Structure 1
Amino acid sequence: MPNRASPAYQARYALRHPGRIGNHLRRWARDAQLRLAHRGHVAYYRAVMRADAARGAEAAVGSKTHESWLRLGQLQFDYLLDHGLKPADRVLDIGCGNLRAGWRFIEYLDTGNYYGIDISPEILLAAQETLTDRSLQAKLPHLTLVSDLTFAFLPDEHFTVVHAHSVFSHSPLEVIDECLMHVGRILAPDGFFDFTFDRTEEVEHQVLREDFYYRTDTLVSLAARRGLSATFMDDWEALPHGQSKIRVTRRGGRSA
């Protein structure tokens, strides 16, 4: 992945895609405004989600069409199903959004076994609408607004599957580290934590405060410092999605 933040890359991109210059300038202006209003990353990105959700919940979670929203949710669900997901699993969905994949987990899991958390009130209201549209109220999912990734309100060793899709791609390293510092406490001894990220094997960089690109070794090493084992998931790379995936387990726990 090239350094998308470099002026040379942006100049080449503008020459190839002149029709997208206006959109990029609008994002730049919004970023400058939100940086002044919100110093912390969670507050900043909550404001980003508020603005994006005003255009539509599916667009806010990165799906340009309803068909792509359905397709990517199915992809996430099928992947975990192929990796042994069972109805009895207790799933924590970090950054659950408007339940793009979550509604499939809720439908499949035993009643009460789905926990979705997000930093955006607007997107959680949209998640409630998805539940209603899919008639999944009786499955009693848990949907909770959070302001950090310490999981302080959740019990020890409870979750057999923790899932974060397209969360760390929008997170600075300190937010990822906070998550890895605490996720081991809530993971069941044989549980695993899957997360996607935007991968580069060149210079790590960010575009505005919205998109972050990391080397695999950086995240694997970060997990190790928090006493966790991390495995790059090669089989995910073969699937039609632009991000990469790492699986984290407690040392001595379930392997990939």
Structure 2
Amino acid sequence: MSDAGEYETGGMFQDPEGFYPPEKEPTFAEHHMLSGQTIRVRLVGSHPLYGDLLWNAGRTSSTHIETRARELVEGKDVLEIGAAAGVPSIVSAIKGARTVVMTDYDDPDLVDNMRWNATNATPLIPIPNCLHVEGYKWGSPVDKLLAYLPSGSTGFDLLIMADVVYSHREHGNLIKTLQQTLKKAPDSVALVIFTPYQPWLLPKTEQFFPLAEQSGFRVTKIFEKVLDGLLFENDPGDEKLRRTVFGYEIRWAMDI
């Protein structure tokens, strides 16, 4: 019988140094509020769920929330899903929300990055410990999200859904999360704000809204804004649509 050492492979199955490209380092971006305050966020260096970008819909949502802060967030409970860097959540906390829960897919890199951004924004937030971070997969049980609500609260007053409806196969899960987390009250609202970065898929993206109406909600289009610049300059498709941000409000349709 041969010695075991005869079969040692040494390093023949190890990838040589430099075989894989180095991981991209995190980058940083700034959002300038109308109030003059600046939010600096860290972006994941490279991620398949696009956590490495500060999206136009996120910036537009943040400005919309700031403009209507008294109505939408002051003293309210806020949930953001698909938050990425979480700028709308941070703006909500700065503008006086009672509770803010910032969520994205339960991936360690995304969650750790959201937590870093939330901690970094602490000096700007007037209510201590109001901003929370949680990993969450759309359509899954929401108990851990509702647990952040103050005693007696049955749901969130505001849901922020910025650039999430592009994921067409997730529309049913998004509706399920909406049904389980939006407080059943006349003034509760979900903001669904997006840009059609692939304009030819816009009809499929817009199928989310009749699905919401079939699921007990009322849908209202609130704006259509054409921005000056493109987020992805070299992408194909109608340039104006790729610069356009669409905004919708979703509320419960039934009598509360």
With the length of structure 1 as denominator, give the TM-score of the two structures.
0.59
**1:164-223 Cα distance to aligned partner (Å, 9 max, x none):** 111222x123x11222134123212121111123449x853xxxxxxxx33575222111
Q: 1:134 to 1:185 in 2, by over 3 A?
A: closer
Cα deviation, 1:98-141, whole Å, max 9, x if unaligned, reads 22232222222345x00111103212211222223223583342
Please say if residues 226 and 244 of structure 2, whose CA atoms lie closer than 8 Å, have aligned partners that are also in contact: no
Higher helix share: 1
* Residue deviations 1:37-64 (CA, integer Å, cap 9, x gap): xxxxxxxxxxxxxxx93349xx73423x
Q: Number of residues paired by the alignment?
A: 183
- Does the 8 A contact of 2:111 with 2:133 survive in 1? yes
The 1:103/1:81 distance shift into structure 2, 3 A limit, reads: closer
Partner SS for 1:184: helix
Alpha-carbon distance between aligned partners in 1 of 2:163 and 2:211, rounded to the nearest angstrom: 18
SS, match of residue 72 in structure 2: coil
Is 1:81–2:66 an aligned residue pair?
A: yes
| Cα distance in 2 for residues equivalent to 1:203 and 1:101 | 27
1:128 equivalenced with 2:115 (yes/no)? yes
Measured after TM superposition, the shift of residue 80 of structure 1 is 2.1
| Residue of structure 1 aligned with 2:190, choices 189, 193, 198 | 193
Match of 1:91 in 2: 78
Q: Distance in 1 between matches of 2:195 and 2:122?
A: 34
Distance 1:72 1:195 in 2: 9
Kindly report which structure 2 residues correspond to 1:11-22, keeping only aligned pairs within 5 A, or say none: none
Which residue matches 1:117?
103
Give the Cα–Cα distance (whole angstroms) in 1 for the partners of residues 209 and 97 of structure 2.
Answer: 32
Gaps of 5+ in 1: 1-51, 64-68, 205-212
Q: How far apart in 2 are the matches of 1:160 and 1:61?
A: 29
Residue in 2 aligned with 1:143? 133
Aligned to 1:60: 51
Alignment of 1:159-238 (within 5 A): 159-169=156-166, 171-173=167-169, 175-188=170-183, 189-190=185-186, 191-199=188-196, 204=201, 213-214=202-203, 218-234=207-223, 236-237=224-225
Inter-partner Cα distance in structure 1 for 2:111 and 2:60: 21
Checking the alignment, whether the CA contact within 8 Å between 1:151 and 1:183 is kept in structure 2 is: no
Question: Displacement, 1:162?
Answer: 0.2
Q: Judge conservation of contact 2:82–2:103 (CA < 8 Å) in 1.
A: yes
Kindly indicate whether residue 248 of structure 2 is the aligned counterpart of residue 251 of structure 1. Answer: no
Contact 1:229 1:248 in 2 (8 A): yes
Q: Distance in 2 between matches of 1:94 and 1:157?
A: 18
Q: Which moved more, 1:101-110 or 1:242-251?
A: 101-110
Q: CA deviation at 1:244?
A: 1.6
5 Å-filtered alignment, 1:15-30, equals: none
Counterpart code for 2:64: Y
Aligned AA (1:245): G
User: 1:153-172: per-residue Cα shift (whole Å, max 9, x none)?
Assistant: 14484111000111222x12
Q: Secondary structure at the match of 1:103?
A: helix
Looking at both structures, which has the greater relative contact order when contacts are Cα pairs under 8 Å and sequence separation is at least 6?
1
TM-score normalised according to structure 2 size: 0.59
1:6-48 Cα deviation digits (max 9, x unpaired): xxxxxxxxxxxxxxxxxxxxxxxxxxxxxxxxxxxxxxxxxxx
Unaligned runs of 5+ in 2: 1-42, 147-152, 229-242
